[in-house]
Amino acid sequence: MKTFNPAYSLAALAAAAMLTACAGGASQPATPVAEAKNQPARPAGGHGLDAFLGSYDANRDGVVTRAEYDTIREQRFRAADTNGDGVLSEAEYVAEFEGRLKRQYFDQGREPDKAYEQAIKQAHVRFGIVNRARDGKFTREEDKAIADRTFKGADTNGDGVVDRNDPPRQREQSGDGN
Ligand SMILES: [Ca+2]
Ligand SMILES: [Ca+2]
Ligand SMILES: [Ca+2]
Protein backbone atom coordinates (compact mmCIF):
# COMPACT_ATOMS: atom_id res chain seq x y z
CA MET A 1 0.00 0.00 0.00
CA LYS A 2 1.13 3.51 -0.64
CA THR A 3 1.88 5.99 2.09
CA PHE A 4 -1.25 7.68 3.34
CA ASN A 5 -1.74 11.10 1.90
CA PRO A 6 -4.74 13.09 3.14
CA ALA A 7 -5.17 14.59 -0.29
CA TYR A 8 -5.93 11.13 -1.59
CA SER A 9 -8.54 10.14 0.93
CA LEU A 10 -11.58 11.53 -0.84
CA ALA A 11 -10.30 10.28 -4.15
CA ALA A 12 -9.64 6.87 -2.71
CA LEU A 13 -13.07 6.84 -1.16
CA ALA A 14 -14.69 7.71 -4.44
CA ALA A 15 -12.69 5.03 -6.20
CA ALA A 16 -13.63 2.47 -3.60
CA ALA A 17 -17.27 3.43 -3.82
CA MET A 18 -17.24 3.25 -7.56
CA LEU A 19 -15.39 -0.03 -7.79
CA THR A 20 -17.76 -1.57 -5.30
CA ALA A 21 -20.64 -0.33 -7.38
CA CYS A 22 -19.08 -1.60 -10.59
CA ALA A 23 -18.00 -4.97 -9.33
CA GLY A 24 -21.10 -5.38 -7.21
CA GLY A 25 -18.95 -7.19 -4.68
CA ALA A 26 -17.31 -6.60 -1.37
CA SER A 27 -14.18 -4.51 -1.30
CA GLN A 28 -11.80 -3.37 1.36
CA PRO A 29 -13.16 -0.86 3.83
CA ALA A 30 -12.74 2.62 2.45
CA THR A 31 -10.86 5.39 4.15
CA PRO A 32 -12.59 6.20 7.44
CA VAL A 33 -15.44 8.64 7.01
CA ALA A 34 -13.88 10.89 9.65
CA GLU A 35 -11.01 11.54 7.25
CA ALA A 36 -13.29 12.30 4.37
CA LYS A 37 -15.27 14.82 6.38
CA ASN A 38 -12.17 16.95 6.64
CA GLN A 39 -12.03 17.23 2.89
CA PRO A 40 -13.89 19.93 1.02
CA ALA A 41 -17.11 18.69 -0.50
CA ARG A 42 -16.82 17.97 -4.15
CA PRO A 43 -19.53 16.83 -6.51
CA ALA A 44 -19.15 13.35 -7.97
CA GLY A 45 -16.96 13.49 -10.99
CA GLY A 46 -16.05 17.08 -10.27
CA HIS A 47 -13.17 18.83 -11.89
CA GLY A 48 -9.60 18.57 -10.83
CA LEU A 49 -6.90 15.96 -10.54
CA ASP A 50 -8.16 14.46 -7.28
CA ALA A 51 -11.55 13.85 -8.81
CA PHE A 52 -9.95 12.35 -11.88
CA LEU A 53 -7.73 10.03 -9.84
CA GLY A 54 -10.63 9.19 -7.57
CA SER A 55 -12.78 8.21 -10.49
CA TYR A 56 -10.36 6.37 -12.72
CA ASP A 57 -7.29 5.18 -10.83
CA ALA A 58 -8.64 1.64 -10.49
CA ASN A 59 -5.55 0.11 -8.88
CA ARG A 60 -4.92 3.25 -6.79
CA ASP A 61 -1.27 3.62 -7.65
CA GLY A 62 -1.68 7.35 -8.22
CA VAL A 63 -1.48 6.99 -11.99
CA VAL A 64 -4.39 6.79 -14.40
CA THR A 65 -3.41 4.91 -17.54
CA ARG A 66 -5.46 5.16 -20.69
CA ALA A 67 -6.45 1.51 -20.26
CA GLU A 68 -7.79 2.16 -16.74
CA TYR A 69 -9.61 5.19 -17.95
CA ASP A 70 -11.22 3.50 -20.95
CA THR A 71 -12.19 0.42 -18.95
CA ILE A 72 -13.94 2.39 -16.24
CA ARG A 73 -15.58 4.69 -18.71
CA GLU A 74 -16.93 1.68 -20.61
CA GLN A 75 -18.12 0.02 -17.39
CA ARG A 76 -19.86 3.19 -16.41
CA PHE A 77 -21.55 3.52 -19.75
CA ARG A 78 -22.74 -0.08 -19.67
CA ALA A 79 -23.98 0.24 -16.09
CA ALA A 80 -25.81 3.44 -16.94
CA ASP A 81 -27.56 1.85 -19.91
CA THR A 82 -30.21 0.28 -17.75
CA ASN A 83 -32.55 -0.66 -20.59
CA GLY A 84 -29.65 -2.15 -22.54
CA ASP A 85 -30.37 -0.47 -25.86
CA GLY A 86 -26.75 0.61 -26.27
CA VAL A 87 -27.36 4.32 -25.84
CA LEU A 88 -28.00 6.52 -22.82
CA SER A 89 -31.17 8.52 -22.51
CA GLU A 90 -31.10 11.72 -20.49
CA ALA A 91 -32.78 9.87 -17.62
CA GLU A 92 -30.18 7.08 -17.71
CA TYR A 93 -27.33 9.56 -17.95
CA VAL A 94 -28.53 11.63 -15.01
CA ALA A 95 -29.45 8.57 -12.94
CA GLU A 96 -25.91 7.23 -13.30
CA PHE A 97 -24.48 10.52 -12.16
CA GLU A 98 -26.94 10.77 -9.28
CA GLY A 99 -26.02 7.26 -8.16
CA ARG A 100 -22.40 8.30 -7.81
CA LEU A 101 -23.30 11.56 -6.15
CA LYS A 102 -25.56 9.82 -3.64
CA ARG A 103 -22.86 7.36 -2.82
CA GLN A 104 -20.41 10.16 -2.25
CA TYR A 105 -22.78 12.01 0.05
CA PHE A 106 -23.49 8.82 1.92
CA ASP A 107 -19.81 8.06 2.35
CA GLN A 108 -19.26 11.56 3.67
CA GLY A 109 -22.23 11.34 6.00
CA ARG A 110 -23.89 14.27 4.28
CA GLU A 111 -27.52 14.91 3.52
CA PRO A 112 -28.49 16.08 0.04
CA ASP A 113 -28.25 19.87 0.00
CA LYS A 114 -28.36 22.77 -2.41
CA ALA A 115 -25.08 21.71 -3.99
CA TYR A 116 -26.59 18.29 -4.58
CA GLU A 117 -29.59 19.72 -6.38
CA GLN A 118 -27.34 21.99 -8.36
CA ALA A 119 -25.14 19.07 -9.39
CA ILE A 120 -28.17 17.16 -10.67
CA LYS A 121 -29.28 20.19 -12.64
CA GLN A 122 -25.83 20.45 -14.11
CA ALA A 123 -25.98 16.79 -15.13
CA HIS A 124 -29.10 17.56 -17.18
CA VAL A 125 -27.34 20.51 -18.78
CA ARG A 126 -24.33 18.33 -19.46
CA PHE A 127 -26.45 15.77 -21.23
CA GLY A 128 -27.53 18.45 -23.66
CA ILE A 129 -23.87 19.23 -24.29
CA VAL A 130 -22.56 15.67 -24.61
CA ASN A 131 -25.47 14.55 -26.75
CA ARG A 132 -24.14 16.45 -29.70
CA ALA A 133 -26.64 15.05 -32.15
CA ARG A 134 -29.42 16.39 -29.93
CA ASP A 135 -31.41 13.24 -30.52
CA GLY A 136 -31.79 12.31 -26.85
CA LYS A 137 -29.44 9.37 -27.31
CA PHE A 138 -25.95 9.57 -25.96
CA THR A 139 -23.95 7.02 -27.92
CA ARG A 140 -20.70 5.18 -27.22
CA GLU A 141 -19.15 7.08 -30.10
CA GLU A 142 -20.08 10.36 -28.48
CA ASP A 143 -18.75 9.10 -25.17
CA LYS A 144 -15.48 7.96 -26.75
CA ALA A 145 -14.92 11.31 -28.41
CA ILE A 146 -15.42 13.03 -25.07
CA ALA A 147 -13.27 10.46 -23.30
CA ASP A 148 -10.42 11.11 -25.67
CA ARG A 149 -10.65 14.86 -25.21
CA THR A 150 -11.04 14.59 -21.44
CA PHE A 151 -8.06 12.29 -21.01
CA LYS A 152 -5.81 14.40 -23.19
CA GLY A 153 -7.01 17.48 -21.38
CA ALA A 154 -6.08 15.98 -18.01
CA ASP A 155 -2.73 14.70 -19.27
CA THR A 156 -1.29 18.19 -19.30
CA ASN A 157 2.34 17.08 -19.70
CA GLY A 158 1.37 14.78 -22.56
CA ASP A 159 3.17 11.64 -21.35
CA GLY A 160 0.15 9.42 -21.92
CA VAL A 161 -0.84 8.96 -18.26
CA VAL A 162 -2.57 11.22 -15.76
CA ASP A 163 -0.88 11.65 -12.38
CA ARG A 164 0.54 14.28 -10.07
CA ASN A 165 3.24 15.15 -12.57
CA ASP A 166 0.62 16.79 -14.73
CA PRO A 167 0.70 20.50 -13.96
CA PRO A 168 -2.77 21.90 -13.35
CA ARG A 169 -4.08 24.17 -16.01
CA GLN A 170 -5.16 27.71 -15.25
CA ARG A 171 -8.73 27.00 -16.02
CA GLU A 172 -9.94 23.49 -15.35
CA GLN A 173 -12.20 22.50 -18.17
CA SER A 174 -12.04 19.09 -19.70
CA GLY A 175 -14.77 17.29 -21.50
CA ASP A 176 -18.00 16.63 -19.68
CA GLY A 177 -16.51 16.63 -16.21
CA ASN A 178 -17.06 12.95 -15.71
CA1 LIG B 1 -3.57 3.27 -11.75
CA1 LIG C 1 -30.39 3.06 -22.76
CA1 LIG D 1 0.73 13.04 -17.81
User: 46-91 pLDDT, tens per residue?
Assistant: 568 888 999 899 999 999 999 999 999 999 999 999 999 999 999 9
For the chain, the domains span 6-154
Better-predicted residue by pLDDT, 36 or 74: 74
Q: Which ligand is nearest to the CA of 66?
A: 1
pLDDT score recorded for residue 88: 97
97 Cα–ligand 2 center, Å: 14
Q: Identify the pLDDT of residue 7.
A: 46
Ligand in nearest proximity to the CA of 15: 1
Burial of 74 (0-12, 13-18, 19+ CB in 10 A): middle
Q: What is the pTM of this model?
A: 0.64
